[in-house]
Every structure is written in structure tokens, then in C-alpha cells.
Amino acid sequence: MNFSQGVPISWYLLLSATLFSLGVLGFLIKRNLITVFMSIELMLNAVNLSFVTFAHQWHAVKGQIFVFFVMMVAAAEAAVGLAIIIAVFRARATLAVDRIDLMKL
């Protein structure tokens, strides 16, 4: 079965947009730092999906290369981000973003 003809491209894009919006929503409203962090990952992967989709549509390999870059950045970000989260938890014994507000004036 031909993948490209079976499912129209707009569906992929709709899925990507939905995932991205869910990520934004989670980023904005969740209180737990780990959930916020996962929302960011969700947004990144939603963007990856549209990259792959367009790369397939236009038969251009650039989009796929970009996906690798994004994944690499995401991996690095995960390492640093999780380390920060652990450090914050050790220091404050909480991961509620509302209460991590020492930097305000």
C-alpha cells in the first residue's frame, strides 16, 4: 500500500499542529516542572513531524537532516534540563514552577 497516497498530507500536518498546540498548552498551564519539560519535548517532536512530512512531499532531504539536528539539540537539552531539575529539586524540595521564583525583584 502506497503510504503517500493512502493518507493525505494535510492529516500529518493537522496531527503535527495538534501535538504542537497540546505542547504549548501543557507548557503554559502545567505546574510541575517535569511536565513543562515534557511539553517542550512534545513541541519539538511536533515540529519534527512537519519537517518529515514536507521533506517527503517535496522529495527534499534537507527536512530530514533538520530532524536529526533537532533531535540532537533535544537530547542535549534533555541532559541539561533534567540535571537542572534534579538540582532544583534538591535545593527547594519542590518542582512547582510557581514557587521557583527567587529571581524576581
In whole angstroms, how close is the CB of 33 to another protein at the nearest point?
Answer: 8
Cβ nearer to another protein, comparing 59 with 101: 101
In whole angstroms, how close is the CB of 104 to another protein at the nearest point?
Answer: 3
In whole angstroms, how close is the CB of 12 to another protein at the nearest point?
Answer: 20
Residues of this chain that interact with another protein (CB under 8 A) are 24, 27-29, 31, 36, 97-98, 100-105
Question: What is the rounded CA–CA span in Å between residue 62 and residue 46?
Answer: 17
Copy the grid coordinates of residue 29: 498551564
